[in-house]
Chains A and B, each alone.
Chain A
Amino acid sequence: MFDNNLRGMIDDVRDGRMDRRAFVKRMIAVGLTAPLANQILAIGGVAMAQSPNPYKPTKRGGGGPLKLLWWQGPTLLNPHFATGTKDQDGSRIFYEPLASWDVDGHLNPILAAEIPSIQNGGLAADAKSVVWKLKPGVKWHDGKPVTADDLVFNWEYASDPATAAVSIETYSGLTVEKVDDLTVRINFKKPTPFWANAFVGAYGCIIPKHLFAEYKGGKSREAPNNLKPVGTGPYKFVEFKPGDLIRGEINPDYHMANRPSFDTIEMKGGGDAVSAARAVIQTGEYDFAWNIQVEDEVLLRLEKGGKGKSLFAVGGDIEFIAVNFTDPNTEVDGERSSIKTKHPILSDPRVRKALALLVDRESIKKVIYGRAGRATANYLNGPEEFVSKNTKWEFSVEKASALLEEAGWKVGSDGVREKDGKKLKFLYQTSINGPRQKTQAIVKQACQKAGIDVELKSVVASVFFSSDVANPDTYSHFYADIEMFQIPMTQPDPALHMRRYHSRNVATKENKWQGPNFPRWVNKDFDAAIDAAEIETDPLKRADLYIKGNDLMWQDTVMIPVMHRLAVEACSNTLRPALSGWANQTDNLQDWYRET
């Protein structure tokens, strides 16, 4: 639609006729916000801008201690082994990537001298290679210089399957070659529109070759520096007790001027989210607490006259109800919910649509999520730039009843609909979690009004989210009719997020239920759109493809999106953190300071 228009606009920005900010604003207006708008500009030949930095301190240090509370304490400090965000957050205090996503969704150079662009020769026009230049003079905490060899080593280390690094996916589809001491070239096997993945963000943290070279592959666990990080970050390692405490002190040789502001840093783990919020907001014992998943009502109460406040960072995490397309109650070759079966009731699209009409997002937001959630009709809510405008959610018991009526489900004597002597009954499972159980209750009530009998089931989170092949209660076995949980979006590009529902990823007994497509949804158009998007270099067409994928999921009611969830943090009134919904909370730690 605005294809030509956009191209004109990119030219305008490049030639200086249009201000970059105006461009980004217009993109936001048409549904494509910051990170994508910037990626569009980058591929369109305009160098990426950096957000004006609000950092105020005029000297390094002197800010006193910074006390962070992570209610799940980091358990290891090697970014390539970091399984959860807690470990990434802990590693990130000491290790740094080439660049990270800042508050506005711009790529901000950390160890890189500049962000690659077509002008500076960093980006190839065919999107098949990227050249990164390291900032000269950066030193590891032990004084050794950071060079291109370190980058090449990180690629070798992470992509070696024997290392069993969790970052393997980021590094395995590419090669990294040294151009000179401070320059590397990343070569992609196919056009890669989302080029800012390797060496960027959480899995982009770089570990020193001189300390890890001997521990590549099978010996990776034995490296003494897995526990004693030597990085390039704003703080130097002092002490680490897994699950409990990380302590660091200021890095006097940090490579950014006047940074960091704090003299020491402490990240304390353990406890629960509510008391973490209390320690920051109410008593002020700590400066910042992460991931405060508590009901908004509790936060509002703590905030009254407290010493801190809640902060909300917008990312792309989605809480949804997934619909089973296969029959959970019939066994085929020793496998329930087999792809060879069809769900006896839910394979009728009218029933799925009716279910979607019975989710009262407004009540769910009001009662449970408050400021931390946004009602949504999309699976893909972020990065906000990919958000479809073609979908709309609605809550209507009448419309749902009409649809069910149309599908032949008549209300029986007990108020439950039936057809051919079969009751309209669903098993609705989720993980044990306060907000989820409340949501279940709200949905069940609406279903009852429409004549659907819903049986609720909740499974302990450690079982529900496990990859245990032998346990039938995991989300990926999906031995229920519908199920609800959250999928976090781990990077500001939808490729990984969307790829999950490709038909080649259906969870089956054969792949030990490791395939991420657990609704077992097969749609040729979706597959085609996702495959095309992965190599599409034209950012506009690419966004269209992902929006199409999202819309197909909506039309087919594969997922009933419930809530677009925001990250909630607790922060003291004087602390000025630099948070981004596209990054880990500690990603821009060098820019944190305290207002005096």
Chain B
Amino acid sequence: MSQYILRRLMIAIPSLLGISLVLFVVLALAPGDPFSELATNPNVPPEVQAALRAKFGLDDPIYLRYLHWLSAMAQGDWGFSFVSRINVDTLILQRLPTTLYVIGSAQLLALLIAIPVGVYAATRPYSLFDQLANTFAFIGFSLPTFFTGILFILVFSVKLDWLPFVYTDVPGSGIPWLLEMIRQAIMPVMVLALFQAASMTRFVRSAMLDVIRLDYVTTARAKGLGQAKVIVKHVMRNAMIPVVTLIALQMPAVFGGAIVTEQIFRIPGIGSLLISSILANDTPVVMAVTFVFACLVVLFNLIADVLYGWLDPRISFR
């Protein structure tokens, strides 16, 4: 198996190179430049702009800039943000904990809702519970997060005045600090979790239904195994294969943040960093964040493949 992983990682290198090249070229050709704010400022003479462009290497040809970026990246230098003039890795590391906390909790909560609800609904198809679960799932994924987000704000912050809608890094420590961190995360986590849980519930349910009628399940029942044991040991294990793919491919999103939700609640996560960097044409940051994203997708695809083998030994590593 280690050989399989190694082989897969080797294949990943040229694809990541390709991805980085495409990203770089697209960003370099995209309109706008990081010094637009300087351009409309009459206090800033054009020479300063020109000097900055030259200093930051923006006047070099694209291939040179790409090679420069690649060699720096290979040495662990991610470049620095044109806008805040600090290192990109510092910037990303500053944002990562918040993203992991908020988006991670949302994903976890979504799973905790989706798996039991999906499994239970699949064992009793077309029962009242199933119908209700389906209805809520449909409502859940038809409502975009920017809508539910604003709805939550209007209800829980403006009308009821229960929860703050600006997520900020509260100072302090201990229990009150922990409670405050939880309190301000409730709304964004709920918004994201409900959206995710809705689609995942549908997915779990249909994966379960595919397996639940197979002959081996009937055999297991015929052997006199209890319902719970059949469902958990025989059905779920097989049904989880497509679910694992779904979850594994969503993991990069946990690191990448939820752009819309982060904007609404002002969560200082990777998603809001990406959007503000795109708006400011801060190419080194956009490049780094999207590239990390690409790496994560490749990595989690690999993890999903390894998990398949563990869940279903018939899928062998070759």
Residues on A lying within 8 angstroms of B by beta carbon are 69, 75-76, 81, 83-84, 161-162, 164-170, 203, 218, 221, 226-227, 238-239, 241-245, 247, 264, 266, 268-272, 275, 278-279, 282-283, 285-286, 460, 462-463, 465-468, 471, 473-476, 487-488, 490-491, 496-497, 499-500, 511-512, 514-516
Contacts of B45 in A (CB 8 A): 168-169
Could you tell me the distance in whole angstroms from the C-beta of B104 to the nearest C-beta in chain A?
Answer: 19
Contact at B38–A245, with CB atoms within 8 Å?
no
Question: Which residue from B42, B50, B84, B272 sits with its C-beta under 8 Å from A496?
Answer: B42
Contact at B85–A226, with CB atoms within 8 Å?
yes
Q: Contact mask B248-292 → A, CB, 8 Å, 1/0?
A: 000000000000000110101000110010011100000000000
Contacts of B266 in A (CB 8 A): 268-271, 275
Question: Which residue from B35, B55, B264, B279 sits with its C-beta under 8 Å from A467?
Answer: B35
Contacts of B52 in A (CB 8 A): 164
Contact at A462–B32, with CB atoms within 8 Å?
yes
List 18 additional contacts besides A221-B85, A490-B43; criterion CB under 8 Å.
A75-B84, A83-B38, A83-B44, A164-B52, A166-B48, A168-B48, A169-B44, A242-B91, A244-B169, A244-B268, A245-B169, A272-B263, A466-B33, A466-B281, A475-B40, A488-B40, A490-B42, A515-B46
Contacts of B51 in A (CB 8 A): 161-162, 164
Provided the pairs A169-B44, A245-B168, A462-B279 are in contact, do residues A514 and B49 lie with their beta carbons within 8 angstroms? yes
Contact at A242–B169, with CB atoms within 8 Å?
no
Contact at B47–A161, with CB atoms within 8 Å?
yes
Contacts of A164 in B (CB 8 A): 48, 51-52, 55
Interface residue tally on B, bucketed by range: 35 or more
Q: Is B210 an interface residue (CB 8 A)?
A: no
Contacts of B86 in A (CB 8 A): 76, 226-227, 242
Contact at B165–A283, with CB atoms within 8 Å?
yes
Could you tell me the distance in whole angstroms from the C-beta of A203 to the nearest C-beta in chain B?
Answer: 7
Q: Contact mask B51-69 → A, CB, 8 Å, 1/0?
A: 1100100000000000000
Provided the pairs A164-B52, A266-B168, A462-B36 are in contact, do residues A241 and B83 lie with their beta carbons within 8 angstroms? no
Residues on B lying within 8 angstroms of A by beta carbon are 31-33, 35-52, 55, 80-81, 83-86, 91, 94-95, 153, 157-158, 161, 164-166, 168-169, 171, 263-264, 266, 268, 272-273, 276, 279-281
Contacts of B84 in A (CB 8 A): 75-76, 242-243
Quick one: closest A residue to B42, CB to CB? A496
Q: How far is the CA of A329 from the CA of B52 in the complex (A)?
A: 32
11 contacts between A and B (CB under 8 A): A164-B55, A166-B44, A239-B169, A242-B86, A244-B169, A283-B165, A462-B36, A475-B40, A490-B42, A500-B42, A514-B49
Question: Which residue from B39, B43, B279 sits with its C-beta under 8 Å from A170?
Answer: B43
Contacts of B264 in A (CB 8 A): 271, 275
Contacts of B41 in A (CB 8 A): 83, 166, 490
Quick one: closest B residue to A498, CB to CB? B42
Q: How far is the CA of A286 from the CA of B266 in the complex (A)?
A: 13
Quick one: closest A residue to B83, CB to CB? A75
Q: How far is the CA of A168 from the CA of B83 in the complex (A)?
A: 18
Contacts of B85 in A (CB 8 A): 76, 81, 221, 226
Q: How far is the CA of A497 from the CA of B41 in the complex (A)?
A: 10
Contacts of A279 in B (CB 8 A): 165-166
Contacts of A203 in B (CB 8 A): 43
Contact at B276–A166, with CB atoms within 8 Å?
no
Could you tell me the distance in whole angstroms from the C-beta of B39 to the nearest C-beta in chain A?
Answer: 4
The list of the 9 closest CB pairs from A to B, nearest first, reads A467-B39, A514-B46, A244-B268, A466-B36, A242-B84, A75-B84, A270-B266, A271-B266, A462-B32
Q: How far is the CA of A165 from the CA of B49 in the complex (A)?
A: 10
Contacts of B94 in A (CB 8 A): 241-242, 244
Q: How far is the CA of A227 from the CA of B276 in the complex (A)?
A: 19
Contact at B166–A286, with CB atoms within 8 Å?
yes
Contacts of A466 in B (CB 8 A): 31-33, 35-36, 39, 281
Contacts of A471 in B (CB 8 A): 31-32
Contact at B31–A465, with CB atoms within 8 Å?
no
Contacts of A475 in B (CB 8 A): 40
Could you tell me the distance in whole angstroms from the C-beta of A276 to the nearest C-beta in chain B?
Answer: 9
Could you tell me the distance in whole angstroms from the C-beta of A76 to the nearest C-beta in chain B?
Answer: 5
Q: How far is the CA of A442 from the CA of B31 in the complex (A)?
A: 29
Contact at B83–A76, with CB atoms within 8 Å?
yes
Q: How far is the CA of A275 from the CA of B44 in the complex (A)?
A: 32
Question: Which residue from B47, B158, B161, B263 sits with its C-beta under 8 Å from A270?
Answer: B263
Could you tell me the distance in whole angstroms from the C-beta of B173 to the nearest C-beta in chain A?
Answer: 14
Q: How far is the CA of A314 from the CA of B279 in the complex (A)?
A: 28
Quick one: closest B residue to A241, CB to CB? B94
Contact at A499–B42, with CB atoms within 8 Å?
yes
Question: Which residue from A165, A167, A221, A282 sits with its C-beta under 8 Å from B158?
Answer: A282
Contacts of A516 in B (CB 8 A): 42
Contacts of A165 in B (CB 8 A): 48
Contact at B158–A268, with CB atoms within 8 Å?
no
Could you tell me the distance in whole angstroms from the C-beta of A92 to the nearest C-beta in chain B?
Answer: 16
Provided the pairs A268-B266, A272-B263, A511-B46 are in contact, do residues A241 and B40 lie with their beta carbons within 8 angstroms? no
Q: How far is the CA of A149 from the CA of B164 in the complex (A)?
A: 47
Contacts of A244 in B (CB 8 A): 94-95, 169, 268, 272
Could you tell me the distance in whole angstroms from the C-beta of A217 to the nearest C-beta in chain B?
Answer: 11
Residue of B39, B81, B158 with highest tally of chain A CB at under 10 A: B39
Contacts of B91 in A (CB 8 A): 242
Question: Which residue from A169, A462, A467 sits with its C-beta under 8 Å from B43?
Answer: A169
Could you tell me the distance in whole angstroms from the C-beta of B191 to the nearest C-beta in chain A?
Answer: 14
Contacts of A268 in B (CB 8 A): 166, 168, 266
Q: How far is the CA of A512 from the CA of B168 in the complex (A)?
A: 42
Contact at A242–B81, with CB atoms within 8 Å?
yes
Could you tell me the distance in whole angstroms from the C-beta of B263 to the nearest C-beta in chain A?
Answer: 6
Quick one: closest B residue to A514, CB to CB? B46
Contacts of B171 in A (CB 8 A): 238, 247, 264
Contact at A285–B164, with CB atoms within 8 Å?
yes
Provided the pairs A286-B166, A511-B46 are in contact, do residues A468 and B37 lie with their beta carbons within 8 angstroms? no
Contact at A167–B165, with CB atoms within 8 Å?
no
Contacts of B39 in A (CB 8 A): 465-467, 474, 476, 514
Q: How far is the CA of A161 from the CA of B280 in the complex (A)?
A: 24
Q: How far is the CA of A227 from the CA of B168 in the complex (A)?
A: 20
Could you tell me the distance in whole angstroms from the C-beta of A159 to the nearest C-beta in chain B?
Answer: 11
Provided the pairs A221-B80, A514-B49 are in contact, do residues A69 and B166 lie with their beta carbons within 8 angstroms? yes
Contact at A468–B32, with CB atoms within 8 Å?
yes
Q: How far is the CA of A514 from the CA of B273 in the complex (A)?
A: 29
Could you tell me the distance in whole angstroms from the C-beta of B36 to the nearest C-beta in chain A?
Answer: 4
Contact at B166–A473, with CB atoms within 8 Å?
no
Could you tell me the distance in whole angstroms from the C-beta of A225 to the nearest C-beta in chain B?
Answer: 12
Contact at B33–A468, with CB atoms within 8 Å?
yes
Q: How far is the CA of A496 from the CA of B45 in the complex (A)?
A: 11
Q: How far is the CA of A497 from the CA of B171 in the complex (A)?
A: 43
Q: How far is the CA of A269 from the CA of B157 in the complex (A)?
A: 19
Q: How far is the CA of A271 from the CA of B279 in the complex (A)?
A: 13
Contacts of A76 in B (CB 8 A): 83-86
Contacts of B272 in A (CB 8 A): 243-244, 270
Contact at B40–A270, with CB atoms within 8 Å?
no
Contact at A278–B158, with CB atoms within 8 Å?
yes
Contacts of B37 in A (CB 8 A): 83-84, 465
Q: How far is the CA of A169 from the CA of B43 in the complex (A)?
A: 6
Provided the pairs A165-B48, A203-B43, A268-B266 are in contact, do residues A463 and B32 lie with their beta carbons within 8 angstroms? yes
Provided the pairs A279-B166, A466-B31, A514-B49 are in contact, do residues A243 and B276 lie with their beta carbons within 8 angstroms? yes
Q: How far is the CA of A512 from the CA of B59 in the complex (A)?
A: 13
Contact at A487–B40, with CB atoms within 8 Å?
yes
Quick one: closest A residue to B277, CB to CB? A243
Quick one: closest A residue to B161, CB to CB? A283
Could you tell me the distance in whole angstroms from the C-beta of A22 to the nearest C-beta in chain B?
Answer: 35
Quick one: closest B residue to A489, CB to CB? B42
Quick one: closest A residue to B85, CB to CB? A221
Contact at B164–A462, with CB atoms within 8 Å?
no
Contacts of A496 in B (CB 8 A): 42-43
Q: How far is the CA of A461 from the CA of B157 in the complex (A)?
A: 32
